[in-house]
Amino acid sequence: MTKQLTYLLAFIKFTHIMDFMIMMPLGPQLERIWEISPQEFGLLVAAYTFSAGTVGLFGSFFMDRFDRKHALIFLYTGFLLGTFACALSNSYEMLLIARCATGAFGGLLGATVLSIVGDLTPIEKRGEAMGTIMAAFSAASVFGVPFGLFLANQFGWQAPFLFLGLAGLPILIFNVIMVPNVREHLAAGVQNPLVILKEMLKDRNQFTAHVFIVLLMLGQFSVITFIAPYMVSNVGFTEGQLAYIYLVGGFFTLFSSPIFGKLADKHGQLKFFTVVTVLSLLPLWIITNLPRMNIYAVLVITSIMFILISGRIIPAMTMITSSVRPERRGGFMSINSAIQQLGAGVASFVAGVIVVKTVSGEYQDYDLVGYMAISASIVAILIARRMKAVS
């Protein structure tokens, strides 16, 4: 796979990730404007992932029937339309529906990008390519989210979604021009959806990969969902200062992600995942127990967490994409992405149920969310050892 194609897929991932990420730092603003509770905000974040997971689960049975280029163009078009719908929403209920629509396309979109990387990149180079794609998370943090928050503070919370929709239009055109037809997987024929499901349940390797991604989501997304509201209510950040969390953390992970990808290729995906995950447990605990303190000290802690969280996802996704035969990778990755989205939705919703907003406006029981994330991360290390790479 060429560098140009890798970067194009990373740009797609950038808009995809930014659209998803911008919801969380908008939490304090949305809670203030619409007077919604933590549970309602958690549902607003989870709506995207629940929709992505549900549609992705059904769509996964048919993904290997199509040229991946055609699937990518169709899904990205629907994703952009959903993003424009978010920009036009004028109530909590309308935004909830728009997020569901965006998630319906976004879930399969992410899986299709990863499938193209898996199909066009040899396994010995897959970690490096995956690191570049996952660097989109960092880019969305360092450039997208701070700029989105700036737009929201200046023009209203709808502005970031309008920006994303407009920015995605030229990317869609380049998809048509640059992405090659990816049809090799079609040569193996298409199985009945029920056969695909039966094969997944019988294949211990595939089943393990799905359990693995759920644990990863519980181990990080439960904490990430409420970072912004917690920082404003408990730690002393202003809404304007929230951008620094994503700006500084994203800046460092923008460089660390490709490096981590190469290190994972060099030292082994499992070994590297284990080391980085263990290191990530401490910042997860610290962040969910932070008192009011100096903003610069907080930025150091949040940046370390971003670096390690993104660092463990790179070998994790490489192990997952390598756990199934190429001719079944499209359907498998779609199912895995759907389960990932459902896992993120569950993590967000459960975190919203656990945390409580007091009369004074502070959040309580965020530390319990941290303990849940740490426990899930430890179990993920044990589960990862059961996955095997398949040529």
Enter the tokens of residue 115: 């499938």
Residue 361, burial from CB neighbour count under 10 angstroms (0-12, 13-18, 19+): exposed
> With a threshold of 0.85, does the pTM exceed it?
no
Task: Convert the pLDDT of each residue in 277-321 to its tens digit.
Answer: 999 999 999 999 999 999 999 999 999 999 999 899 989 988 998
Task: Convert the pLDDT of each residue in 141-174 to its tens digit.
Answer: 778 888 999 999 899 999 999 999 999 999 999 9
Enter the tokens of residue 361: 């406006």
Contacts of 45 (CB under 8 A, 6+ apart): 23, 24, 27, 225, 348, 352
Are residues 329 and 275 in contact, defined by beta-carbon separation less than 8 angstroms? Answer: no
Are residues 22 and 160 in contact, defined by beta-carbon separation less than 8 angstroms? Answer: yes
CATH number of this structure's domain 3-180+189-384? 1.20.1250.20
Q: What is the pLDDT along the chain (391 residues), one digit of tens a residue?
A: 677 888 899 999 999 889 988 998 998 889 888 888 888 999 999 999 899 888 877 776 777 777 888 889 999 999 999 999 999 999 999 999 999 999 999 878 887 888 888 777 777 777 778 778 877 776 777 788 889 999 998 999 999 999 999 999 999 999 888 888 777 766 655 556 566 677 777 888 888 999 999 999 999 999 999 999 999 999 999 988 998 998 898 888 878 888 998 899 899 999 999 999 999 999 999 999 999 999 999 999 999 999 999 899 989 988 998 888 876 776 677 678 788 889 999 999 999 999 998 888 899 999 999 999 999 999 999 999 998 878 6
Are residues 173 and 295 in contact, defined by beta-carbon separation less than 8 angstroms? Answer: no
* Alpha carbon distance 229, 382 (integer Å): 32
**In degrees to the nearest 10, what's the CA dihedral of 339, 209, 222, 246?**
-100
Other beta carbons within 10 Å of 388: 12
